[in-house]
Amino acid sequence: MQVHITGTMVLQVVVSGLLVGGLYALVALGLSLVFGVMRVINVAHGTFLMLGAYVTFWLFDLYGLNPFLSILVSVPVLFAVGAVLQRLLVFRVVNAPELSSLLLTFGISIVLANMAMLAWTADYRSVEFLTGSFVIGQIAVSKPRLISFVTALVITALAFVFLHKTRTGKAIRATSQHREVAQVCGINVGRIDLVTFGLGAGLAAAGGSLVSVMFAVYPEMGQVYVFKSFLVIVLGGAGNYPGAFFGGLLLGVVEGLASLFLTAQLTEVVAYILLVLVLLLRPQGLLGGRI
Amino acid sequence: MRPAAIALPVLALVAVLPAVLSGYHVSFMIQVFMWIALAGSWNIISGFTGYVSFGHVAFFGIGTYTAALLITKAGWHWLPAGLAGCVPAMMLALVIGYPCLRLKGPYFAISMLGLNEVVRALVSYFEGFTGGGAGISLPPIEAIVPVYYAMAGVAFAVTLTTYLILNSRFGLRLLSIREDEIAAEAMGMNTARLKLYAFLLSAAFPGIVGGFYAWYASHVEPLSVFPLITTITMIIMCLFGGSGTVLGPVIGAVLLSVLQELVWARFLFVHQALFGALIVAVVLIMPRGILGILRQYYPLPRSI
Amino acid sequence: MADAAAILEVRDAVKRFGGVTAVNGCSLSLAAGRIHGLIGPNGSGKTTLFNCITGLERLDAGEIRFKGRRIDGLRPHRVARRGIGRTFQIIRVFPQLTALENLLAVTEAPIEQARARAKELLEFVKLTRLKDEYAGNLSYGQQKLLEFIRVLMTDPELILLDEPAAGVNRTLLNDLLAAMARLRDEGKTILIVEHDMKVVMGLCETIYVLDYGEKIAEGPPSAIQGNERVIEAYFGR
C-alpha cells in the first residue's frame, strides 16, 4: 500500500512535531534538573506527569475549569507531592549508588500508578476543551497543540528566568554543577534538593496538564514520558538545557516523520533506535554536554 | 564439596514431588521455578554488575513467541522449541546490549525501560507473522508434569550458573564493576565486554523460561507476555532475597510466590502497588535483602 | 648513567571542561626508570592530567605517547593493558570484595600464579592476615596499601600515584616510600602527584610544576626549591 506522500504532508507533520516537541522539552527539563542536582534518575517523573494530567482532567470534568488555567493548580499540587516524597523517601538515596535511587523511584512510580488505577480505573479519559485547527496556507495547525506549545514555551521560559535570576534558582544551578562547593558556599543543599525535586514534579505536572488536552489520560501514560524525556536529554546533551529544548523539538519531528513514512505503531521503535544510535555514535549529545 | 551436599537432597525432593502433589500444587511449583529462573537471571546482570535492567521481560516474551512459532508453524516438539527461545533472546540482548551497556548505569536503566514497549510494539506490528494482538494459540497441553521438570531444570541451571560465576574470576570482575566501574576499567578490565557477557547470559535463561511457558499456557499474545508486572516481580524477588548472591533470588522467589499465592493474587492493582511499596521498603530498609540480614547475624560464606 | 629514554611523552596537551581549561598546552617527558613528581597549587590540573594519561578523559588537543606509541584516545582499560597503572586521590578499592579478591580481580594470569603473586604483595605490605577481610572494613591506611599493591598485580611499567602520602601516618609513609624506591630500582617508572613537599623533594628525581594547566618549571628538587615562578604560583605575588 503506497500512499503518495506530498511535501505538504511532510510539512504538516514537521509542524505538528515541533509543537509537540516543545512539550517534550518542558517535561525533559524537570527530569534533567533533578538528575543534575541530585544525581537521581527519577523514574517516577512520568507518574508526576500522569497525576498532573488527572488533576486537569478532574477539574475540567467536575468544574469545567479551563485546562490551561488548571496548570496553576496542578503545578503546586505536584510540587507539594514531589517535595513530600523527597523529604520522606528520596533524600535517603541522594548520594547512594544509582541503583538504589533508580529502584526507589521505580517502586514509587509503581505505587502511584496503581493507586491511580485503583482510584480512577484504567479507562482512557480525555479533556475535550479545544478541538479543530487553524488553517495556515495548506497546513492545518491543531489548536490544542499550538496553544500547548505556546504554554510550554512560556513555562519553560519562566523556569529559565527562575533558574538564572532568582537566588534559589542560582543555588540550584550551583548545586548541580558542583555539590560540595555549593555546600561550602553556604547553600543548604538539603533544601535545594527538596525544591528541585518539587520543581521537577511541578514541571512534569504542567506537561501532564498539556498532554491531557492533546492525548488520552490513563494511569500508565507516564511511563513513556520518562523514556522520551531521557531521549530528549540524550539528544541535547546531558546538562545542556538549551540543548534539551532542541532535543525535544527534534524528537517531535522524528516521531511525526516516522508516523508518516512508516506507521504510527512504530514511532516508539523509531525513537528507541534513535536513542541507541545517538548513544552509540555521539554519546555527548547532538549539541554536546557531559555524560 | 558442601554445596553438593545441600543441592542433591533438594534436587531429589524436587524430582519426587509431582508424585505426591495435586495438579494445582504442581502448577504452583511450576510458577515458583519460573520465578526462581527469572529472578536469578535478572540477578546475573543487575545483581552482579549493578546495571539495572528494567526491560528484562522482553527476553521472556521473545522466548514465548519463538517457541510458539516453532511449535505451530514448524511443528517442533515443545522441549527443543522452548530451549530455542534463548537464541532470539540472546540476539536481542546483543543488539541492545552492545550500545547500551557502554552507558553508565542510570542511562542503561532508562534505555532498558523502553525496551519492553518497543519489543511489544514490534511484535504487534508484524501481525502476519505473529498474529498481532490476538496472538498465537498452541495445542492444549495434556500433561503438566513434563513442564514441571523442564522449569525445574531451568531454575536449577540458573542457580548453578550463578554459583559458578560467583566463584570465578569472571564473577569477581562483574562485582568490581558494581563496586567501582571506573577503578575496574583503570585496572585493565574491559568492562563493556564483561557487562555484555553477563547480559547475554541473563537474557538466555528468560528466553528458555518463556519458551516453556508458551507451551504451558497454550497461548501467547503481546499483552500477556510483555507485562511490566513480570519485570517488577523479577526485580523485587531478587532484591528481597538478596541480589548478588546465589540463594537470594531463590529465597525471594519462593517466599514472595507463597505470599502472592496466599494473600493477594486476586487483587491485581493492589498486588502491583504492594510490590512497588515493597521495592521502596527493601531499598530503604534492607538493601541486601534477607540474605543480607542473615549475614549480619551468622557468618555465611560468600559463595551462597 | 646515560640519559634514559622517555617512557611517557605529553605534548601540548589541552583539556577543557566547559569554560575552564584544566590542562593548557602542557608538555612533559618522563625518563624511564626514575621517580618523577608532579606538583602545583590546587586546581593546577594535576589530576586532570593523570586522567588524560590513563584514558579517563579525552584530550581536546595534543598527544600522549607511551613508549613511543600514542595512547591518548584509548579507553582506560587499554591504557592499563599497555602497562600503565594508577591509584586515585580518593581510594578506590572494591569495598565488598576481600583484600585478596581485590587483587585477584585485576589480573588475567592463571589462578595459581595470581594467588601466589597476591600473597607475595600482601606480605610485602604486611596485610597477609587481612586477606579475607572485606576491603571496605579495612582502615584508611590499610586500604591505601591495598590500592597500592593492587596496581602492582599487573606489573605495570609506569605507575601513576595520586597523592600517595595523603592521610598516611609516618611509619606507613616510610614503608611506602621504601617500596617506591625498590620499584624504581627494579626498573619501574613512577610519577606521583603530591602536596607533601618533604616527600616530593626527598623522593623524586625530577619534578614538574603545573600552574593553571601549564608546566611552569621542571628539574631536580634543587632547581625547583628556589624557583621564583614556583613560589609565586603557590603563594601569589
Instruction: Quick: pLDDT tens for A39-84.
Output: 888 989 999 999 999 999 999 999 988 888 999 999 999 999 999 9
Spatial neighbors of C35 by CB under 8 A, at least 6 apart, are C180, C181, C184, C189, C190, C191, C192, C203, C204, C205
Q: Which residues in chain A touch residue B43, judged by CB atoms under 8 angstroms apart?
A: none
Q: What region does B203 belong to: left with phi over 0, alpha with psi -120 to 50, or beta?
A: alpha
Measured CA to CA, the distance from residue B301 to residue B163 in angstroms comes to 12
Least confident window among A130-139, A165-174, C107-116: A130-139
pLDDT mean over A222-244: 81
As a whole-number percent, the residues of chain B with pLDDT over 90 amount to 48
User: Are B172 and C104 in contact (CB < 8 Å)?
Assistant: yes
Picking from C52, C53, C58, C77 by the largest number of B CB atoms within 10 A of its own CB, the best residue to mutate is: C77
pLDDT for residue C198: 86
CA-based nearest residue in chain A for residue B99: A280
Question: Hey, what amino acid is at A86?
Answer: Q
Contacts of B183 in chain C (CB under 8 A): 88, 92-94
Q: What is the chain B residue with the closest CA to A283?
A: B103
Contacts of C114 in chain B (CB under 8 A): 169
**Residue B195 pLDDT level (bands cut at 50, 70, 90):** very high
- Looking at the complex, report in whole angstroms how far the Cα of residue B190 sits from the nearest Cα belonging to chain C: 6
- Taking an 8 Å cut-off on Cβ atoms, the answer to whether B183 and C154 are in contact is no
Q: ipTM of the assembly?
A: 0.87
Domain span holding position B152: 27-227
pLDDT band for A239, please (50, 70, 90 cuts).
low
Lowest-confidence range among B114-128, B212-226, C57-71, C202-216? B114-128
Nearest CA in chain B to A39: B106
Closest CA to A78 of A27, A154, A137, A23: A27
At residue A205, the 3 state secondary structure works out as helix
Counting as low any pLDDT under 50, the low residues of chain C are: 1-3
Closest Cα in chain C to B169: C105
Contact assessment for residue C66 and residue B172, using Cβ atoms and an 8 Å cutoff: no
Nearest CA in chain B to A110: B276
Residue B285 lies in a domain: no
Q: Which chains sit next to C, with 3 or more Cβ pairs under 8 A?
A: B
Q: Is residue A167 part of a domain?
A: yes
Spatial CA neighbour of C37 closest among C235, C149, C201, C179: C201
In a domain? residue A113: yes
Say what the pLDDT of residue A3 is: 64
Residue A265 scores a pLDDT above 90:
no
Range of the domain at A215: 25-220
Query: Which of A116-130, A157-171, A236-250, B46-60 bottoms out in mean pLDDT, i.e. has the lowest?
Result: A236-250
**Would the CB atoms of C105 and B185 count as touching at under 8 Å?**
no
Residue B105 has pLDDT above 90, yes or no: no
Place of cell 597500592: C148
Tell me the mean pLDDT in the region B233-249. Answer: 92
Residue A20 counted as domain residue = no
Residues in chain C whose Cβ is within 8 Å of chain B: 54, 56, 75-77, 80-81, 85-86, 88, 92-98, 101, 104-106, 111, 114, 150-151, 154
**For position C196, what pLDDT does the model report?**
86
Cβ contact B183–C88 (<8 Å): yes
Instruction: Report CB contact under 8 Å: C94, B190.
Output: no
| Mean pLDDT, residues B21-46 | 92
State the average pLDDT for chain B: 88
Residue B273 scores a pLDDT above 70: yes
Contact B182 C86 (CB under 8 A): no
Whether the Cβ atoms of residue A103 and residue B113 lie closer than 8 Å to each other: no
In sequence order, what are the residues at sequence separation of 6 or more whose Cβ sits closer than 8 angstroms to the Cβ of residue A69?
A: none
Domain regions of chain C by residue span = 6-235
Q: How many domains does chain A have?
A: 1
Handedness of CA B182, B185, B189, B192 (dihedral sign): positive
φ/ψ of residue B141, rounded to 5: -85, 140
Q: Tell me if C87 sits within 8 A of C65, measured CB to CB.
A: no
> Are A279 and B100 in contact (CB < 8 Å)?
yes
Once rounded to an integer, what is the mean pLDDT over residues A223-231? 87
Q: Please tell me the distance in Å from C118's CA to the nearest CA on chain B.
A: 14
Residues of B in contact with A86 (CB under 8 A): none
- Judged by CB atoms closer than 8 Å, whether chains meet at A108 and B280 is answered as yes
Percent of chain A at pLDDT exceeding 90: 34
User: How far is Cα C210 from Cα A40, in angstroms, rounded to an integer?
Assistant: 35
In this structure, is residue A133 part of a structural domain?
Answer: yes
Number of domains in chain B: 1
Q: Are B105 and A93 inside 8 Å of each other by CB?
A: no
Distances A115 to A51, A203, C9 between C-alpha atoms, Å: 11, 21, 62
Contact B239 A103 (CB under 8 A): yes
C77–B190: do the CB atoms touch at under 8 Å? yes
Which CATH number, 3.40.47.10, 3.40.50.300, 3.40.710.10, 3.30.479.10, labels domain C6-235? 3.40.50.300
